[in-house]
Amino acid sequence: MKKSPMKLESSQTISGVDFENYFQPGSLKEALEIKAEYGRDITIAAGTTDLFVAYYERLHTIKNWLDLSKIDELKYIKFSEKNVKIGAMTTHLALKESEELKGKFPVLQAAAADVGSPQIRSRGTIGGNIATSSPSGDLLTPLLSYQARFKLETAGKSRWAAAEEFFTGPKQNIMGPKEILTEIEVPLPKNDSSGYWIKIGRRKALVISTLNFSLVLEFNKEKISRAGLAMGSAAPTPVRLKKIEEMLVGKSLDELDHRKLGEEVKKQIAPIDDVRGTKEYREDVAFETMINALEDIESRRG
């Protein structure tokens, strides 16, 4: 039954049923031990901007909470010669404001600036965005384009997962019951690179993407030496479009047939009809977006 929007009072109040356990460890080590003990019976709270929507008026059904917000060792953006390492509890706001990220990963930064609203960006985290694994997660497409990998830790062990192997379905991923996502590592693109990001939605702010798109091209002289193309809300998971990437590599921008590439993008995605748009609409927008992206990059490179 649909709740009346004119409800007098939220049922999510202080008189509700309390959780059984609320853990707020100050270190990753403690957090991993708690996760090892509870497995799937504990819910991780990062920025909680997705969680509170998913559990609207039924927060009490979550029995055990693992709140990572006090773990300062998971909040950082560290650059080295080869890559950037980002702590999982780094907020969208911190990504948006990082000067170094602006120069080296403009597409990721533009995506972070387009998430929700200032209120959402100051709480929501990159780790939460990844672990929630929504097909429309705004940071996920740039992370696919830049070929990021994610560090998954358990008490005593860790493994790395490539972004494109991580997502398995809508809000599903390969994480095991005892694992916590702790770090995101993104290799630095070559100095000569250009990118394009766009989020399509019904309005500019506070919107879940009807479609999002990121393209990163690296150049050697004027030839494309590497391409990273990804789209969100275009398939059951955010997807990297490798076939198109292959069509771009080795060519110079003026050798590309934009319309043909746009048509190919349409073929490579598998969108659905939902409240934010139809399959047909998404395919048409994907086509246009691919053309716009190439034109935009071409005009900026002169």
Partner 1 sequence: MAKLDVELTVNGEKYNLKVGSQERLLDTIRKQLKLTGTKEGCSVGECGACTVILDDKAVNSCMVLTAQVDGSQIITVEGLESKGGLHPLQKAFIEKQAIQCGFCTPGMLMSALALIKENPQPSKEEIKTALEGNLCRCTGYQQIIEAVEAAAEEWGV
Residues that bind partner 1 (CB under 8 A): 10, 12-22, 24, 45, 48-49, 52-53, 56-57, 59-60, 65, 67, 69, 93, 116-120, 122-123, 204-206
Question: Least distance in Å: CB of 45 to partner 1?
Answer: 7
**Which tokens go with 58?**
């039924």
Q: How far apart are CA 189 and CA 53, in angstroms?
A: 35
Question: Least distance in Å: CB of 93 to partner 1?
Answer: 7
Nearer Cβ to partner 1 (45/186): 45
Regarding beta strands 239-240 and 193-200, do their DSSP bridges make them parallel or antiparallel, or are they unpaired?
A: unpaired
**Which tokens go with 52?**
């509170």
Nearer Cβ to partner 1 (93/186): 93
Nearer Cβ to partner 1 (77/247): 77
Question: Least distance in Å: CB of 126 to partner 1?
Answer: 16
Nearer Cβ to partner 1 (96/104): 96
Question: Least distance in Å: CB of 142 to partner 1?
Answer: 20
**Which tokens go with 119?**
């209120």
Question: Least distance in Å: CB of 127 to partner 1?
Answer: 15
Nearer Cβ to partner 1 (94/139): 94
Question: Least distance in Å: CB of 24 to partner 1?
Answer: 7
Nearer Cβ to partner 1 (162/205): 205
Question: Least distance in Å: CB of 212 to partner 1?
Answer: 17
Nearer Cβ to partner 1 (4/10): 10
Q: Are 266 and 258 within 8 A, CB to CB?
A: no
